[in-house]
């Protein structure tokens, strides 16, 4: 019987205590803000959308290798010896044309692992966090500063250069082979030379 | 002739307001009484363990964040000290202290969500928002330090990604000052409310022997009266330097090991975490945090098992290294996963409403159950 | 009012129709206000701002929501029993609307000047159960069914303490008519029933504590009858998703909503009529002191609405403070606590009135 009245009393009293607390809170200023109109100031270390400063990028591919979700895709083409790509802000010489630097921000997990290995500090996280898009393709950010034509041209240049080099090499090999043939012809009388010796040296040079 | 009766099968979830994620409970009911509960998991499976085999050691850390996403710091903590143990790295004092500070703040934040959503499960909406308001302060401190609010990737093997923000220590002290009275308010508003006590006391009693048999850990085990906390019993990092108590369930309002005890142990643990925080903030040494960072993380061939006291229980990492840059195998012993296994035992014979109360008191995070 | 309208229009049917439609003019704006108030009260209790974007501080939010709801697709699940599924929301609304017929808004307007208003209200407030059961069953959803069955048990049980308290008040005042009851508690607040009624005697002082007990019992049990939070079993959000209204969408869902808020005001008004003098002003009428007789009904309407809304606000306040009780505890509170207390109260009030 005592328990019965105690229960009744506790039931009413604790409800009353709770109501007193919530009533006090009616007059506490609100802690929420009107988001799109008012925004919370972000701290300086905030990790949001990735940005790449292409002026400084040397195309070393370290960020792409650090990424755990493989959202960075980099393709590079070697520059011509006569081309000068300039220097990065911390004095590194650029030697590669970065023809493709894509970040699929939809895949990005904002872990910041790509930021630390960058030797020129050109990839970093900004404080932009409102970048929703209607199409998934629009979330694929292309940072490469080269236009499609330029890219093709660079590739062509490089291929041409490569081809020229190859041709040069081939010519050298040919010359060598000819020289070897001459030498062979001169030493025709000695029959102990075998085929393998002839074919091996050029192969090594090629590689 | 008696009419044929059969149990009603009710699917609670995967989309349900109080399954804390995408858990599906197949409940057999007799009227409103629960006969059997069968949890179905896997809706959030992301192959963490398999993924880890294709990642380098530092790349795994962001994945550990996403397991128990309410306690990311602690997931990082466990993983990095496991790898450090494997490599034999000794980290600087300051790093140890910062890790403990972050870990305990994370414990408070995680318990806040647990308590708040528990109130929500029982229909009390307001304590939930009060706790989230306070949790926001912790998240702001984390954001200030490492730039992220939820998935930090803050602790690295051999160090930390950033040093503390200059304002951090002051803010942490202010937070402790601010939060202590709020615990009292929470107790008055919810913990000692008669309706709340009626809903939770004597409900879902978990005896100590059953808890141990099921491998239950964390606040759930302590609520059953077992004094077991890895911070004391299998100490790691620098927890042996701090003076704190381990709250255990006493059965104040009902029986030892009921839902109220599970709830109240978490409330008391927040207070203890604040004690650790105060000591750690006082002792925090100066120094370089990067001095022990290895150039490349390539542990020697071997295995390691490291367990830490996650806010939800024992979080263990078992790592096999084959001497390469990628771990050969990473196995996680998740506390929520193990703790959930006891739900059938706990809720048999209770009402649906109690089932929700019991599920809430287990405090599961589906990200970690499904991994 | 009815007589006045009959004279004005010269047709009894039209007069009855107009007279019956008048509460709608009150309910709809009240619901629009009520939903907004609920959101604002909850927001400020929780240190939030609540709706802020539509109009000044979000005052038009409910209007916007209403327009959204009427544009919504009306989804009927394939397995649902279409006939009953469609009928249920209207039945629930009728149940809540019918209560308004016996509520005296002012001394001049009452929907039906019946002598058995209280009896009628008790009878009719059980009507909503039929609608809720119908909706829950026809949805063909297990959650809805659970909600509906819980609701039936709950509303039927809580009728008993309500009826017992009302019985004790009927004993005290000697009338079943709400209009008469309001009239008896005239002019000043010390004449209200909560302070022992208008009769000056030493029994008045004796009655006050028991009146407070009666008031608390009636308030709790009406709270349960309208399924508000500590007792919102039928739609226990965290257990039964949305209870009996889980499968409803669009305008039909809005009808349930309308009925809920209509009910909230109806029971609050009932409490205020029984204990707090209904439409009577606590300080005397401005119309009397200024000599403007036509002003009095408007003042009465103001006080009636104010008292009702005050109790509705307390309901909201309770909702955002308390956790939900369990379904068996709901029955315990009713059968083991409220009914014995109201019985004891009934006997004591009876004895005091005999003195």
| Residue among B122, B133, B190 minimizing CB distance to C47 | B133
Euclidean distance between CA atoms B161 and C243, whole angstroms = 49
Fill in the DSSP letter of residue A187.
T
pLDDT grade for C187, boundaries at 50, 70 and 90: low
The chain-wide mean pLDDT, for chain C, equals: 81
- For A92-110, give the DSSP string: PBP-EEEEEEEEETTT---
* Count of CB atoms situated within 10 Å of the CB of C66: 19
* Distance of residue B361 Cα from the nearest chain C Cα, in angstroms: 14
Q: Does A112 touch chain B (CB under 8 A)?
A: yes
Confidence band for A205, pLDDT divided at 50, 70 and 90? very low
A17 close contact with B: CB closer than 8 A: yes
DSSP string, C123-145: HHHTHHHHHHHHHHHHTT-HHHH
Contacts of C47 in chain A (CB under 8 A): 25, 28-32
> Is A15 within 8 Å of C322 when comparing Cβ atoms?
yes
Domains of chain A: 50-145 (3.30.70.3270)
- Interface partners of chain B (CB pairs < 8 Å, 3 or more) are A, C
Lowest mean pLDDT among A130-134, B47-51, B98-102, C192-196: C192-196
Is B190 within 8 Å of chain C by CB?
Answer: yes
- Residue A18 sits at the chain C interface (C-beta within 8 Å): yes
B320 falls within a domain: yes
In a domain, B357, yes or no: yes
| Interface residue C48 vs chain A (CB under 8 A) | yes
For the residues C62-82, what does the mean pLDDT come to?
A: 83
Q: Residues 6 or more apart from B246 whose CB is under 8 A from it?
A: B222, B227, B228, B229, B232, B272
| pLDDT per residue as tens digits for the range C252-285 | 888 888 888 888 888 888 888 888 877 877 777 7
Indicate the number of domains in chain B: 1
Q: Is A181 on the interface with C (CB under 8 A)?
A: no
pLDDT band at A200 (very low <50, low <70, confident <90, very high): very low
- Decide if C52 touches A, using CB distance below 8 A: yes
Instruction: Say if B341 falls within a structural domain.
Output: yes
Q: Is cis: bond before B14, omega within 30 of 0?
A: yes
Among A residues 33-92, those touching chain C with beta carbons less than 8 Å apart: 34
Contact A22 C320 (CB under 8 A): yes
Cβ A68–B189 below 8 Å, yes or no?
Answer: no
**Of residues A115, A102, A119, A136, the one with CA closest to residue A48:** A115
Burial of C25 (0-12, 13-18, 19+ CB in 10 A): exposed
Closest CA relative to residue B157, chosen from B294, B42, B53: B294
Residue A203 has pLDDT above 50, yes or no: no
Cβ-Cβ contacts under 8 Å between A and C: the total is 41
Q: Does the CB of B134 have a partner CB in chain C at under 8 Å?
A: no
pLDDT confidence of residue C3: 67
* B136 neighbourhood in chain A, CB within 8 Å: 31
What is the reported pLDDT for C2?
64
Domain presence at residue B275: yes
Domain range for B242 is 51-370
Residue A196 — very low, low, confident or very high, per pLDDT cuts 50/70/90? very low
Task: Note whether residue B35 is domain-resident.
Answer: no
Q: Given an 8 Å threshold on Cβ–Cβ distance, is B153 in contact with A111?
A: yes
**pLDDT for the residue numbered A190:** 55
Alpha carbon distances (Å) from B192 to B54, B123, C94, C173, C261: 50, 15, 40, 40, 31
C73 touches chain A (CB under 8 A): no
Interface test with C, best of A12, A16, A18 (most C CBs within 10 A): A18
The pLDDT tens digits for C209-231 are 888 888 888 888 888 888 877 88
Contacts of A31 in chain C (CB under 8 A): 47-48
- Please name the chains neighbouring C, where neighbouring means 3+ C-beta pairs under 8 angstroms: A, B
- ipTM topping 0.90: no
In a domain, B283, yes or no: yes
Listed as ranges, residues in chain B with pLDDT below 70 are 1
Q: What contacts A193, CB < 8 A, 6 or more positions away?
A: A184, A187
Contact predicate C304/C352, CB 8 Å: no
Q: Answer with the residue of higher pLDDT: C20 or C258.
A: C258
Of A197-206, B313-322, C291-300, the one with minimum mean pLDDT is A197-206
Q: Which of A7, A22, A31 sits opposite C321 (nearest CB)?
A: A22
Of C240, C320, C322, the CB nearest to B193: C322
Residues B199, C238: C-beta atoms closer than 8 Å = no
pLDDT at C1: 60
Q: Which residue on chain A is closest to C220 by alpha carbon?
A: A12
* A118–chain B nearest CA distance, Å: 14
In a mutational test of the A interface, the residue from C39, C40, C43, C46 whose CB has the highest number of chain A CBs within 10 Å is C46
The pLDDT of residue B89 is 86
List pLDDT tens digits, range A78-115: 777 777 777 777 777 777 778 888 888 888 888 888 88
Q: Give the predicted TM-score (pTM) of the model.
A: 0.84
Taking the CA of residue C332 and the nearest CA in chain B, the distance in Å comes to 11
Residues of chain A contacting residue C315, judged by C-beta atoms under 8 Å apart:
none
Q: What is the pLDDT of residues C126-155, one digit of tens each?
A: 778 888 888 888 888 888 888 888 888 888
CA-nearest residue to A113 within chain B is B59
**Closest listed residue to residue B121, CA positions, set B340, B347, B346, B356:** B356
Helix C127-138 crosses helix C82-98 at what angle (to 10 degrees)?
Answer: 160
Q: What's the pLDDT at C59?
A: 83
> What mean pLDDT is predicted for residues C58-83?
83
pLDDT in tens, A1-41: 888 888 888 888 888 888 888 888 888 888 888 888 888 88
Residue A195, pLDDT > 60, answer no
Quick check: is B340 in a domain? yes
Q: Could you tell me the CATH number of the domain that includes residue B342?
A: 1.10.645.10
How far from chain centre, in Å, is Cα A86? 21
pLDDT for A98 = 80
* Structure confidence at residue A194 as a pLDDT band (50, 70, 90): very low
Say how far residue C23 (Cα) sits from the centre of its chain. 13
Neighbours of chain A (3+ CB pairs under 8 A): B, C
Mean predicted confidence (pLDDT) in C94-98: 84
Residue B19 in any domain: the answer is no
- Within chain C, how many helices (H) and strands (E) appear? 15, 0
Please name the residue of chain A whose CA is at the shortest distance from the CA of residue C51: A34
């Amino acid at each position: 019987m005592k328990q019965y009245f105690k229960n009744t009393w506790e039931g009413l009293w604790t409800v009353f205590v709770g109501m007193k607390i919530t009533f006090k809170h009616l007059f506490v200023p609100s802690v929420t803000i009107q988001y799109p109109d008012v925004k919370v100031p972000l701290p300086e270390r905030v990790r949001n959308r990735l940005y790449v400063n292409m002026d400084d990028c040397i195309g070393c591919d370290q960020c792409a290798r650090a990424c755990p979700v493989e959202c960075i895709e980099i393709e590079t083409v070697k520059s011509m010896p006569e081309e000068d790509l300039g220097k990065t802000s911390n004095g590194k010489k650029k030697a590669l044309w970065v023809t493709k630097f894509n970040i699929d921000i939809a895949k990005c997990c904002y872990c910041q692992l790509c930021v630390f290995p960058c030797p020129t500090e050109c990839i970093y996280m900004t404080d932009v966090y409102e970048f929703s898009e209607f199409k998934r393709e629009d979330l694929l950010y292309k940072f490469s500063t080269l236009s499609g034509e330029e890219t093709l041209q660079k590739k062509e240049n490089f291929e041409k250069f490569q081809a020229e080099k190859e041709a040069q090499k081939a010519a050298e090999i040919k010359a060598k082979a000819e020289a070897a043939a001459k030498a062979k012809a001169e030493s025709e009388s000695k029959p102990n030379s075998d085929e393998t010796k002839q074919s091996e040296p050029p192969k090594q040079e090629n590689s | 002739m008696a009419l044929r009766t059969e149990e009603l099968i009710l699917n609670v979830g995967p989309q349900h307001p109080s399954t804390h994620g995408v858990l599906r409970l197949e409940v057999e009911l007799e009227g409103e009484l629960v006969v059997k509960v069968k949890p179905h998991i896997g809706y959030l499976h992301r192959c963490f363990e398999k993924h880890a085999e294709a990642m380098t050691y530092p790349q795994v850390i962001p994945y550990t964040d996403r397991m128990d996403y309410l306690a990311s710091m602690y997931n990082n903590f466990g993983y990095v000290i496991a790898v450090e143990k494997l490599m034999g790295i000794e980290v600087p004092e300051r790093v140890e202290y910062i890790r403990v500070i972050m870990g305990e703040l994370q414990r408070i934040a995680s318990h806040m969500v647990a308590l708040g959503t528990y109130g929500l499960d029982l229909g009390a909406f307001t304590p939930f928002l009060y706790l989230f308001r306070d949790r926001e302060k912790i998240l702001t401190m984390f954001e200030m330090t490492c730039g992220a609010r939820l998935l930090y990737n803050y602790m690295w093997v051999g160090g930390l990604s950033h040093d503390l923000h200059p304002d951090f220590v002051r803010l942490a002290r202010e937070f402790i000052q601010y939060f202590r009275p709020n615990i009292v308010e929470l107790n008055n508003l919810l913990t000692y409310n008669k309706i709340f006590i009626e809903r939770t006391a004597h409900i879902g009693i978990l005896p100590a022997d059953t808890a141990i048999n099921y491998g239950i850990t964390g606040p759930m085990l302590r609520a059953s009266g077992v004094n077991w906390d890895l911070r004391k019993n299998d100490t790691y990092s620098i927890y042996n330097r701090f003076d704190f108590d381990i709250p255990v369930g006493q059965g104040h309002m009902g029986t030892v090991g009921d839902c109220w005890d599970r709830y109240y142990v978490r409330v008391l643990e927040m207070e203890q975490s604040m004690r650790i925080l105060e000591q750690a903030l006082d002792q925090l040494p100066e120094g370089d945090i990067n001095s022990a960072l290895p150039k490349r993380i390539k542990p020697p061939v071997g295995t390691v098992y490291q367990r830490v006291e996650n806010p939800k229980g024992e979080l263990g990492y078992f790592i096999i290294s084959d001497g390469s840059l990628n771990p050969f195998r990473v196995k996680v012993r998740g506390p929520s996963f193990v703790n959930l296994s006891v739900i059938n035992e706990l809720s048999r014979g209770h009402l649906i409403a109690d089932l929700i109360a019991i599920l809430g008191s287990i405090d599961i995070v589906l990200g970690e159950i499904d991994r | 009012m009815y007589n006045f309208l009959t004279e004005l229009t010269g047709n009894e049917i039209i007069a009855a129709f107009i007279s019956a439609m008048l509460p709608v003019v009150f309910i709809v704006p009240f619901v629009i206000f009520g939903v907004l108030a609920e959101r604002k009260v909850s927001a400020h209790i929780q240190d939030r701002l609540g709706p802020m974007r539509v109009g000044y501080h979000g005052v038009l939010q409910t209007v916007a929501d209403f327009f959204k709801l009427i544009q919504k697709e009306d989804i009927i699940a394939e397995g649902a029993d279409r006939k009953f599924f469609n009928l249920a929301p209207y039945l629930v609304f009728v149940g809540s609307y019918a209560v308004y017929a016996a509520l005296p808004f002012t001394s001049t307007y009452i929907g039906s000047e019946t002598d058995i208003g209280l009896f009628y209200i008790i009878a009719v407030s059980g009507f909503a159960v039929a609608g809720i059961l119908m909706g829950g069953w026809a949805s063909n959803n297990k959650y809805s069914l659970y909600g509906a069955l819980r609701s039936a048990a709950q509303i039927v049980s809580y009728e008993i303490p309500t009826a017992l308290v009302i019985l004790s008040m009927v004993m005290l005042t000697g009338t079943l008519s709400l209009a008469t009851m309001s009239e008896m508690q005239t002019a000043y607040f010390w004449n209200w029933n909560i302070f022992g009624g208008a009769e000056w005697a030493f029994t008045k002082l004796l009655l006050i504590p028991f009146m407070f007990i009666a008031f608390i019992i009636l308030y709790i049990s009406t709270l349960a009858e309208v399924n508000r939070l500590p007792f919102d079993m039928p739609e226990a959000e965290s257990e039964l998703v949305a209870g009996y209204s889980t499968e409803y969408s669009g305008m039909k869902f809005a009808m349930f909503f309308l009925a809920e808020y209509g009910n909230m005001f109806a029971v609050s008004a009932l409490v205020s009529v029984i204990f707090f003098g209904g439409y009577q002003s606590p300080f005397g009428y401005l119309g009397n002191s200024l000599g403007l007789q036509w002003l009095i009904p408007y003042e009465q309407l103001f006080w009636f609405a104010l008292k009702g809304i005050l109790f509705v606000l307390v309901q909201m306040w309770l909702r955002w403070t308390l956790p939900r009780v369990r379904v068996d505890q709901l029955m315990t509170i009713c059968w083991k606590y409220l009914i014995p207390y109201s019985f004891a109260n009934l006997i004591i009030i009876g004895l005091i009135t005999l003195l």
